[in-house]
Structure 1
Amino acid sequence: MRDAYTDQLDELGDALAGMCEDVATAMEKATRALLDADLRLAEQVIDEDIRIDEIRHSAEEKAFALLVLQAPVATDLRIVVSAIHGAGDIERMGDLALHVAQAARRRHPQPVLPEEIAPYFAEMGRVGVALARKAGAVIRSRDLAAAAELESDDDAMDDLHKHMFTVLMDRNWDHGVEAAVDVTLLARFYERYADHAVAVARRIVYVVTGQMPGPLAV
Structure 2
Amino acid sequence: MREEFRAELYEVGRQLVSMAEAVRTAMSTATTALLSADKEGAERVIARDAQINEIFHSVEDKVLRILAQQAPVASDLRMVITALHIGTDLERMGDLAEHVAKSAVRRYPAVAVPAELAGTIGQMANVADRIAGKVTLVLASRDIDRAAELEHDDDAMDELERSLYARILSPNWSYGVEAAVDTALLARFYERYADHAVNAGQHIIYLVTGETPGSPEPTEQ
C-alpha distance in 2 between matches for 1:207 and 1:44 = 34
Q: Name the structure 2 match of 1:32.
A: 32
Other-structure match for 1:153: 153
- TM-score norm. by structure 2 comes to 0.95
What SS does structure 2 have at the residue aligned with 1:117?
A: helix
Alpha-carbon displacement from aligned partner over 1:81-100 (angstroms, at most 9, x marks no partner): 01111111100000000000
The residue that corresponds to 2:177 in the other structure is: 177
Q: Residue 33 of structure 1 contacts residue 104 of structure 1 at CA under 8 Å; is this kept in 2?
A: yes
The two structures, once aligned, show a CA RMSD in angstroms of: 1.1
Q: CA deviation at 1:137?
A: 1.1
Q: Distance in 2 between matches of 1:89 and 1:18?
A: 14
Distance, in Å, in 1 between the alignment partners of 2:108 and 2:87 is: 32
CA contact (8 A) 1:75 1:208 kept: no
Superposed, 1:1-218 pairs within 5 Å as 1-214=1-214
Secondary structure in 1 matching 2:116: coil
After the TM superposition, which of the residue ranges 202-211 and 186-195 deviates more from structure 2? Answer: 202-211
Unaligned runs of 5+ in 2: 216-221
Shift in Å, 1:3: 2.2
Quick one: distance in 1 between partners of 2:71 and 2:181?
49
**Cα separation, 2, equivalents of 1:214 and 1:95:** 28
TM-score by length of structure 1 reads: 0.96
Cα distance in structure 2, aligned partners of 1:140 and 1:3 = 20
Task: Return 5+ residue gaps in structure 1 as ranges.
Answer: none
Q: Do the aligned residues in 2 keep the contact of 1:37 with 1:110 (CA within 8 Å)?
A: yes
Which letter maps to 1:194?
A
Q: Distance in 1 between matches of 2:16 and 2:136?
A: 7
Which digits, 9 at most, give the CA deviation of each residue in 1:171-207, with x for residues without a partner? 1110000000000000000000000000000000111
Using the alignment, how far apart are the partners of 1:56 and 1:214 within structure 2? Answer: 28
Once the two structures are superposed, what CA deviation does each residue of 1:46-73 show, in whole Å capped at 9, x if it has no partner? 1111000100000010011111111111
What's the offset of the Cα at 1:214? 4.2
Shift of 1:75: 1.7
The 4+ residue runs of structure 1 with deviation greater than 3 A are: none
